[in-house]
Structure formats: C-alpha cells, structure tokens
C-alpha cells in the first residue's frame, strides 16, 4: 500500500485521462448526407470508443444540439449506432443562440406543451421567458430547448420546477389523490408509512383512484435544504439533527482529515506503454480508470464545499487486495489514527482489516461498493452505500404489493442457486399482505419454466412474471420465448437490472414485457445538473466520464456536506438524514446501535415506449 502525493496523482490523472486525444479528434465528418422531413443531416455511424463530446467537436456542434436530434443518445452510445447531425452547425449559424449550460437553465419542449405551462412549471413570468427566447412568439416546437432561467454560482437555481420545492405538505388532514398516483408514491411524498395510510383509510386496500380523498392525520412535510455547490445542484438533504444514539461524541471543527483507500495500482500504471494503447485504441486498465474517476468526482465535490470555516485534507492510499501486513502497518500509524473519516477500501478482504482499526479509533468508515452486509456486523462505525441484493428484492416486493393491484404474481423457480432470492421476495410479499390485512389467497404462484407460466396465466388480469437469476443462458432463452407468448396478453416481467446488459438479448423484448427492476444507481443525462457535471469532465479530460465519477461526487457531497453543516455526530445518525443525489440516493437503516448502517434507498424502473422510466423511490 502506498500513500500518494497529490502532485504525482495529478500527473498520473493527466496521462490516464488523455491517452486517446489523437484518436478522438482524428475522425472526419461523415460523407453520408440525407434529407429527413425537409432538413439535411450528416448520418454519423458511431465507432468503438467514440464519445458524444468528441463527435460534437468534429462537427463543430454543441452536445445538447446533437441530443436534441437523437433522444436515444441520452442513454449512451453503442458502436454502429447512427446519429443525425444537423448539416448546418448551430454553433456557426446561430452562435448568438448556442446553448450555454454554464450560464442558463434549459427546458426541452415536449409534445403539447404551452408557454403558460412552462411559466408555471418554472415559476417564471411570460415576459421574462420571451426575453430569454425571442423566437417563441412564433410558437413552440417539440424537441427544441428554451431558456427558463439563469444559473448563479454557489447558489441554487431560482427556476427549479415548483414540484421540486423544499416542502411538500398537505394543507389539512386530508389529501386528494392525483392522476396516476399510488399509495406507494403518496407515502413517500408525504413521508407517511403505507401502513398508517391504510390504517386511516381501510378502503384504500382495494386500490385508490383520482379524486379520492385520503386521511393523512396531522400535517406532515418533508423539509429540505439545498447543498451549496460550485455548480447548480438539485440535491437536497434533511437538516434535522437527532441526538447521538451512540456513546461517542466529537466536536465540530474547521478542518478535517479524510482518507481515500483506492486501487490506483501505480506500479502497473508506470509500466503501461501509452503509445501502444493509443495505436490499439485500447482503454486504460479498468480498475485504475474507475479509481481515478471516483477520485476526480470526489475532489470536484470537495472543492465546491471548502470554505473559510470548512477545510478538507485528503490523504490518498493506493490499495489492492494484497499485502495485508502492509495494510496493518498503515493502520497502526499516527497519521491513520488522526483521520476523521475513511472512504474505502473497495475490496472486502482489506476493508475488513481497515474497518477493525477504524472501530478501535472511533473513525467512521464508508464502503462505496461492497454489497454484502457482513461488514456491518458488530461495527457501528461502518456505513455501506450499496444495498444488498436482498434489499433490492424486498423493495420490488413492496412496490408490487402497493402499486400493482389486482395482479397475478407468478414467481419462476429457475435454478437451485436462486431459491434464496425467491424466498426473500415471497416472504416480503406475504408479510405485506398480512400487514395490509389482505388474504394470503392473493399470494404468489410458484412455477417452473415457461410451461409453468402459461399454466398460471390468468386472462383479464395483469400477470407479473418474477424471475430472479443470474444464469445468462436461461435468461436469454426464457425472455425470448416469453416475449413471443405475451403477444396480446397483459404480462409484465420483473427481475434484476443486469438483464438489460445481456449482449445478445433483443432490447425490444424488455419493452414488450414492460420489464421492471430495482436499482440504487442511475444516471439521468436529461437532468441539467448531471449534464453540467459531465461537461466539466469532458472539457478537461476530452472523454466521457464513467459512473464512478458521479459516484465519487455523490459520496463526497452526502457525507462531507453533512459533516460541514452538522459535524462528526452526523456519522452516528445517518438514518435521520436522507438525501437524493445525481447518481445515488441515500436512505440508511440499522437494526441496533451495535450494527453499521446499510443504504436501502432504491428506485423502481421500467421499460415503456422504448424508454427507461423511473416510477418510484423507496
């Protein structure tokens, strides 16, 4: 294990992130020009390793202008994918009106939207909107971008949609159900448990409908405050501080020591022949790339938080899963004992060693990626960001029970290895039935294979097929056949998010089956804050960031912004401070004061109309 000097790390970062600049910009414009709906476009075929940023530079085009013509590019590029690039560059023809995400907040026009609707959504008067966008007097066009406000440094945008205001509350003890709302969504919106809602509204056990009035007891609200950042941020955090439930107490101070244990593997980096990588158009080794991106995102957040009364001293340790003796030696140093918080290591074997010493020295330690809950046992200093697979399964069961009413639930037993997954889902679902005072006759039907699904299918009802397995061969064959069988039938498929990444699986099958899954992390490139953060990376490193960049940013923003506002006692009250990030949401839980914290925040997603939709947060 090696402690890295910041100057040396910056040198390595510069090399790693600029390996392929010549390859990125050596490309030429496509010669394939087509006229579509009266407008001329270059038809650009994406090559392996190309990024939106590089393609935009080739055509002297803003990234947002390309996205405006290619909505599917929001979810990333694939080799062979064709992009429509406007023949006349917006940057040269209309430079005065070019999109500037550093200065302005933009809104993309949806079908049927009106000027009045936009002014209400962003709390901006019509005259001001027209000043920003002189051409809107001629009408709105679907797919175009309009300016809805200006961005201010180190402050929150004043033009966020009113639906995202800092307080969501009822005006009385009653709540009127809006169109398409579910008990699940209302419980999260009003911060009320579903059990309480059903206790106060027994009739809701059979489902709710638009216009129905629910009792919500005393007025409840979700009060939030916005984290100040060098970029406009939609992230919110709960500032309620509950008295420390542990025996530890540390005073708030102006400067903190923060340790990062990441696998940079500098010995390997120094031996890499960059010329060979460039000629082969190869990537920087994956492990090092992810570690570097995590650090870049982490440092970006730290820089935005540092102020005259809050300083962060980052101590970086190059670690892998070897040399446990050296790791032990580091943990016994005075420097280690002076740390205020530790992030990492990423490997379970060495995390166990570091967390033991962290506990002895009362230092909070955070695991960004380890999934299993063993690291939480008998150590209140540990918090784990990635939920266990069983947490994801249980949250899918809760969602199914609440939002998929009058449903035939069909649980497929795929392989022997998957029985524990199925048991977890069924137990959670049946427990929910009991809590909601519903009959167990509505429970799950367990079947084997597609033949079992066909036998359990009930016409006239929504049939949800639940399949938890990591057997790729089984998944591909089963989903292919199920999509054929589902023709003109009401069938929904539910399972692990990894299903969407099967190389040879036709994505159209997932759309036909309205595939549902639970996930903690997801990048929404339609969000202006996310895209601005990505732009900062793209412009400096001439490449697209990995998910680790956003993960590192969110980890630092959640833990260090709370450390700044609350102090060290925050680390013992994580379950009282929920937060929604760019990449990761945070909603911690622990069963007792002797156990560490598990992040149980997950979102439910589904494929619909060839798009991935976020339909709930738990």
Mind listing the pLDDT tens digit for each residue in 410-433? 999 988 888 899 999 999 998 888
Q: Which CATH fold would you assign to the domain 101-162? A: Membrane-bound Lytic Murein Transglycosylase D; Chain A (3.10.350)
- For 418, 423, 502, the CA distances from 471, given in Å and listed in that order, are 9, 18, 11
The pLDDT of residue 613 is above 50: yes
Structure tokens, 157: 């945008």
Burial 555-594 (b: 16+ CB within 10 A, else e): bbbbbbbbbbbbbbbbbbbbbebbbbbbbbbbbbebeeee
- For 67, 90, 229, 535, 571, the CA distances from 99, given in Å and listed in that order, are 12, 9, 22, 13, 41
Residues of the chain with CATH 3.40.50.2300: 243-387+547-597, 390-519
For residue 188, say if its preceding peptide bond is cis, omega within 30 degrees of 0: no
Q: What is the pLDDT of residue 23?
A: 39
Classify 390-519 by CATH class: alpha beta
Residues 6 or more apart whose CB falls under 8 angstroms from that of 84 comprise 36, 41, 42, 43, 69, 70
What length does the chain have?
Answer: 618
Residues of the chain with CATH 3.10.350.10: 31-93, 101-162, 167-223
Average pLDDT over residues 92-112: 59
Residue pair 376/596 in contact (Cβ under 8 Å)? The answer is yes
Strand-strand pairing, 311-318 and 588-589: unpaired
d(CA 436, CA 402): 10
Provide the mean pLDDT of the chain: 78
CATH number assigned to the domain covering 167-223: 3.10.350.10
Structure tokens, 89: 């560059």
- For 189, 231, 384, 403, 408, the CA distances from 177, given in Å and listed in that order, are 12, 35, 36, 14, 25
- Give the E-state strand segments of 266-399 in sequence order: 311-318, 341-343, 365-367, 382-384
Instruction: Specify which residues 318 forms β-bridges with.
Output: 2, 262
Residue pair 264/290 in contact (Cβ under 8 Å)? The answer is no
Classify 31-93 by CATH class: alpha beta
Q: What is the pLDDT of residue 491?
A: 94
d(CA 50, CA 59): 13
pLDDT tens per residue, range 298-332:
999 999 999 999 999 999 898 876 778 888 889 99
User: Considering the entire predicted model, what is its pTM?
Assistant: 0.63
Q: Which CATH fold would you assign to the domain 243-387+547-597? A: Rossmann fold (3.40.50)
Q: What is the pLDDT of residue 92?
A: 36
d(CA 56, CA 25): 10
């Amino acid at each position: 294990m090696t402690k890295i000097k910041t100057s040396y790390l910056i040198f390595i970062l510069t090399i790693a992130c600029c390996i392929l600049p010549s390859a990125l910009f050596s490309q030429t414009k496509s010669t394939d020009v087509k006229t579509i709906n009266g407008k001329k476009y270059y038809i650009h075929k994406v090559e392996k390793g190309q990024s939106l940023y590089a393609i935009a530079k080739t055509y002297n085009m803003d990234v947002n202008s390309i996205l405006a013509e290619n909505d599917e590019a929001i979810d990333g590029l694939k080799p062979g994918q064709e992009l429509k690039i406007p023949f006349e560059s917006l940057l040269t023809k209309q430079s005065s009106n070019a999109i500037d995400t550093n200065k302005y907040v933009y809104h993309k026009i949806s079908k049927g939207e009106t000027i009045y609707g936009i002014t209400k959504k962003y709390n901006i008067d019509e005259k001001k909107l027209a000043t920003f966008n002189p051409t809107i007097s001629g009408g709105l066009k679907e797919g175009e971008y309009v300016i809805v406000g200006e961005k201010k440094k180190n402050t929150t945008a004043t033009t966020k949609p009113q639906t995202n205001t800092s307080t969501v509350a009822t005006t009385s003890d009653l709540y009127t159900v809006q169109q398409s709302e579910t008990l699940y969504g209302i419980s999260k919106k009003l911060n009320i448990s579903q059990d309480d809602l059903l206790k106060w509204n027994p009739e809701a056990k059979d489902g709710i409908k638009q216009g129905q009035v629910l009792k919500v007891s005393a007025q409840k609200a979700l009060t939030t405050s916005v984290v100040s950042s060098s970029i406009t941020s939609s992230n919110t955090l709960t500032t309620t501080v509950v008295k420390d439930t542990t025996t530890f107490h540390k005073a708030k101070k102006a400067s903190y020591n923060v340790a990062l244990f990441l696998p940079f593997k500098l010995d390997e980096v120094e031996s890499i022949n960059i010329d060979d990588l460039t000629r082969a158009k190869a990537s920087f080794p994956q492990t090092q790339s992810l570690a570097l991106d995590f650090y870049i995102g982490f440092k970006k957040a730290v820089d935005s938080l540092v102020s005259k009364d809050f300083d962060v001293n980052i101590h970086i340790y190059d670690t892998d899963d070897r040399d446990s003796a050296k790791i032990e030696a580091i943990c016994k140093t005075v420097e280690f004992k002076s740390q205020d918080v530790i992030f990492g290591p990423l490997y379970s074997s060495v995390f166990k060693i570091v967390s033991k010493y962290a506990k002895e020295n009362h230092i909070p330690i955070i695991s960004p990626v380890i999934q299993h809950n063993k690291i939480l046992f008998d150590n209140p200093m540990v918090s784990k960001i990635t939920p266990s697979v069983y947490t994801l399964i249980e949250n899918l069961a809760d969602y199914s029970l609440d939002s998929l009413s009058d449903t035939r639930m069909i649980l497929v037993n795929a392989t022997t290895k998957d029985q524990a997954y199925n048991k977890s889902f069924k137990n959670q679902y049946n427990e929910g039935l009991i809590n909601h005072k519903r009959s167990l006759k509505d429970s799950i039907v367990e079947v084997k294979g597609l033949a079992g699904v066909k036998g359990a299918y009930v016409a006239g009802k929504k049939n949800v097929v639940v399949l938890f397995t990591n057997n790729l061969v089984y998944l591909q064959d089963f989903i292919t056949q199920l999509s054929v069988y589902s023709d003109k039938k009401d069938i929904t498929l539910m399972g692990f998010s990894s299903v969407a990444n099967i190389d040879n699986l036709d994505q159209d099958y997932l759309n036909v089956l309205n595939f549902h899954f639970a996930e903690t992390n997801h990048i929404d490139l339609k969000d202006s804050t996310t895209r601005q953060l990505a732009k900062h990376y793209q412009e400096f490193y001439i490449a697209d960031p990995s998910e680790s960049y956003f993960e590192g940013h969110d980890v630092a923003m959640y833990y260090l912004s709370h450390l700044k506002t609350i102090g060290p006692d925050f680390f013992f009250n994580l379950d009282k401070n929920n937060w929604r990030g760019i990449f990761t949401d945070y909603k911690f839980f622990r069963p007792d004061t002797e156990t560490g914290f598990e992040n149980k925040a997950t979102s439910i997603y589904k494929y619909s109309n060839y798009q991935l939709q976020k339909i709930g947060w738990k």
